Chains A and B, each alone.
Chain A
Amino acid sequence: MSAQAKRFSGANIAFGVLGWAVALLMFLPLIWLLVTAFKTEAEAFTVTPQLFFEPTLDSFKAALAQGAGYWHYAWNSVFTALASTVIGLMLTVPAAYAMAFYPSKRTDFTLVWMVSTKFIPAVGVLVPIFLVYKTIGLLDNVWGLIALYTAMNLPIMIWMVYSYFRDIPKDLVEAANIDGASMGQTMLKVILPLATPGLASTGLLALILAWNESFWSITMTNYQASTLPVYIASFKSAEGMFWAKMSAASVLSIAPIIVLGWFAQRQMVRGLTFGAVK
């Protein structure tokens, strides 16, 4: 079969159509969000959705207005996401390094156990954590939030970095040992440079997960440490839903991460499949 014929074979066309359909389905809410953000509240609220309307920036203006505090929330989001990612990576690298290059009998168990902690629903630990935070005064505190995000992302980060490290031949570590490198030097000069793509995509994932996190932000913060999800939620008030403003706020909240994701997506795909195809 020629390449040409292969490209247009029935199966490929079917997969192509399916791919587009799924993609549309997934992006529809996002598109709807974007469209709604340019409507007036009245237009946004109609029962039969209006497809044709005069776009307005009113909602964005309102969302960015002084009193709404977008920049306050945005700064908290940036800071918590970045800090939890950096701290997470600093903890992840040595942990994954030890497990990948100096495995013990319990390494496999430890890995599974770590990831299994992600199966506990967050609400299940909300009350104890809330009480602890209350006692030690970390409620509505960015560092309290950062600690939570770091802990939340650590299992998946360690797992990911571990699988990158596992793909690096152990011979390299041994060669470095013989060449006279200490464990730290081996890690910094041999292993980390080789794992850079993996570390980058792990960091990116942690960043996105922390950025998107709303449960802890909404429950553990009030205003001081609140992140963008709290800001979005604030448009749902006792007087009712402000769909258009909420949409505008949402667009403003996800825009940075979408832009970042756009630039990083090649890296990301490569990173996530790194372990699968050698």
Chain B
Amino acid sequence: MAVVALKNVGKQYPGAASLAVEDFNLTTHDGEFIVLVGPSGCGKTTTMRMIAGLEEHTQGTIEIGGRDVTGVVPKDRDIAMVFQSYALYPHMSVRDNMAFSLKLKKYAKADINKRVEDAAEVLGITPLLDRKPRALSGGQRQRVALGRAIVRQPQVFLMDEPLSNLDAKLRVDMRAEITKLHRKLGVTTFYVTHDQTEAMTMGQRIAVMKDGVVQQIDSPNNLYQQPANVFVGGFIGTPAMNFLDAAVANGTATGPDFSLALDAARREVAGTRERLHVGIRPEHLHLAGNEADAQSLKGEVEVVEPLGALTMIQVRVGDTKVTAQIEPHQQVEMGDTVALTCAADKLYLFDTESQDTLIGIDSGVADQPAA
């Protein structure tokens, strides 16, 4: 277990025009579960590979357990990695796959067996120990890959999209299992995903990346309530936040087919701005009936998606598609014109120019402060 510190870490691939990762700063707590999320190509894998030592960082320093690991080869970094492709050794049994690293370290046979069997026990793969990887299902292979990582008892786990090859249900199961495993072992973990539900449910802190640049590193709740900018606001949360380009006058944000009164706090941050981006999460929009109140967006319903527990509708407000989450008993048909409303304190405001957040929302619940 160790603290991992990334200080101004950057990576320039040879021949690449721009940096794949730029000025990454993060110091973990001991035993923390850090999730890296972001769209494809944003540098998540590159960051992991730099921590693992599979790729040299070209800027800054990486410290593992207080030791600068620049120039240290992967095997001497005391890390274990779980690959997206599992990367199990196809010619070795599950037992040998898991024992490989221990054998290389010349552990005593009895010790190796004990460790392998303990890990197999934890992961529920004891009956599979003598099989070859090709005789395993995807989920079982995933477990073996995890097993291979945990027998090492390393200081840091690195997992690069370990669940992306699994079907939806198995993914949810494994997600819970990895979280449980982390709680049990308490090993500092970096976990890459581009599934934001996975990020939100697993991460103690989440680093949201875009084009090689970290946008925000924060707890799941803070990311949801206080995103740093339009990108994070739109990336975290499903379905994604709605954005409306609004003109501000007399404490009201207006645009084609919508008008939203700003409360005192929002009026204050808006200051003298004449334009703003307004962000509204689908779960904060409600059907307003037909009596138009001060907070309303009007438009024609274009899509209705009943999901059982709730229903998603898409409403065209001006030129913008707005997604709203409504109760399943509320009958809405395609082609209906509806009015939506949103509480004044659930509006996110962003600066039009910089795209930075002016104000987020309050949970009313005290969140643990992110270090």
Contact = CB atoms under 8 A, between A and B. Distances in A.
Interface string B83-117: 10101111100000000110011000000000000
Interface string A159-183: 0000000000101101111111110
B75 A177 contact: yes
A174 B87 CA distance: 9
A194 B73 CA distance: 24
A190 interface: yes
A30 B288 CA distance: 92
A179 B54 contact: no
A191 to B, nearest CB: 10
Contact of B80 (A178, A181, A185, A193): A178
Interface string A18-39: 0000000000000000000000
Interface string B332-368: 0000000000000000000000000000000000000
Given A178-B52, A178-B80, A169 B87 contact: yes
The prevalent SS among residues of A at the interface is helix
Contacts of A172: 87, 89
B104 A181 contact: yes
A162 B176 CA distance: 42
Given A172-B87, A190-B89, A194-B90, A178 B104 contact: no
A171 B87 contact: yes
B148 interface: yes
Q: Which of B52, B81, B89, B91 has the most CB of A within 10 A?
A: B89
User: What is the interface residue range for chain A against chain B?
Assistant: 10 to 19
Contact of A178 (B74, B88, B91): B74
Nearest to A190: B89
Contacts of B54: 174, 177-178
Contacts of A193: 91
B187 interface: no
B104 A180 contact: yes
Nearest to B104: A180
A190 B100 CA distance: 10
Contact of A175 (B79, B81, B104, B105): B81
Contacts of A169: 85, 87
A175 to B, nearest CB: 4
Contacts of B73: 177
7 nearest CB pairs, A to B = A171-B87, A179-B101, A175-B87, A180-B75, A180-B104, A193-B91, A178-B74
Given A174-B54, A174-B87, 13 more contacts: A171-B87, A175-B89, A178-B52, A178-B54, A178-B74, A179-B101, A179-B104, A179-B148, A180-B104, A181-B100, A182-B75, A190-B89, A193-B91
Interface of B: 52, 54, 73-75, 79-81, 83, 85, 87-91, 100-101, 104-105, 148, 152
